[in-house]
A and B are shown apart, each in its own frame.
Chain A
């Protein structure tokens, strides 16, 4: 019985963990402006899929309840978990309803205003690119349209 902890600082909001989680514990909620990564419980077995796929190693799996309070502040954990200092002696079940949410504001397309991806994710991509990509703030549809428009203009 293990708990999932997502570091707000490291997470880029890419959805890889939600895809990998076969239990449906990590879920994504997306609106027009925000992407929310929701962890709604703890893992029933030794599965570490989400940790393995995370591009930034933002996921920690363990028995630590206190550490989750330290990561996300006192507001997200229940009062009883935060007051306790000894992680190992806590009953595993206490983590069951510990809901974590990581919220990302989505970058909007500079051409059509549709949401693209969290800014942290776009920054991660530009850091990994060997050369700068100027289309990063364009949505996929606009990139596709611009390509053909540019060819037609010729």
Chain B
């Protein structure tokens, strides 16, 4: 098995036929959520050498490991700060709906608590809360929406499990996403690096060198 750092994913935008196969492959590998978006050509994390997302994260939930930028889900708060810090728009968001567990509903534990408190402290001028308490129980939200933040992890799990290359590169039918050894593709890397520097120049981007 090769180490993660020895290869890199290259994108040839002119070869992309817009079939979204990479999105499907990514979805399959990452539990139904795709870290790739085909926007003219596939967009996903470029695993920058100087990553702004790592700089801005206040929880240190994004870290660089073996040259790959990884989002640690346990630490991530889904705040979306990294999403807007990424100059490439490569950190994705997906809105998901989660049911609130019955035991965790906002006001389910209230009645007994409320009775206990009201018995201790007789309050005459605070009769209103009782009525509003009933209202509160009625419109307790049943589900909540979360805007999930996710990004390309370079198929780390896949690589660790079987040594396989990333799913998008393995799936792409037209060669728009290619996975190459850095040693073998050094000339290609130079070209790509130059291109990205050009982009940097064109859009006044600084400090990020993928």
Contacts and interface: CB of A to CB of B under 8 A. Distances in A.
Interface in A96-128: 96-97, 116-117, 121-122, 124-125, 128
B74 interface: no
B13 A152 contact: yes
B51 to A, nearest CB: 11
Given A19-B147, A93-B133, A144-B89, A134 B113 contact: no
A71 B155 CA distance: 46
Interface residue range, chain B? 35 or more
B190 interface: no
Interface in B165-210: 195, 198-199, 202-207
A146 B203 contact: yes
Given A55-B79, A140-B89, A150-B202, A22 B129 contact: no
Contacts of A132: 206
B58 A147 contact: no
B72 interface: no
Contacts of A135: 87, 203, 205
Given A141-B39, A145-B40, A136 B84 contact: yes
A145 to B, nearest CB: 6
Interface string A1-40: 1000000000000111011111111011000000000001
A85 interface: no
B65 interface: no
B81 A94 contact: no
A16 B144 contact: no
Contact of A96 (B37, B81, B89, B133): B133
Contacts of A40: 106, 141
B210 to A, nearest CB: 10
Nearest to A149: B40
A122 to B, nearest CB: 6
A124 B81 contact: yes
Interface of A: 1, 14-16, 18-25, 27-28, 40-45, 53, 55, 78, 80, 89-94, 96-97, 116-117, 121-122, 124-125, 128-136, 139-154
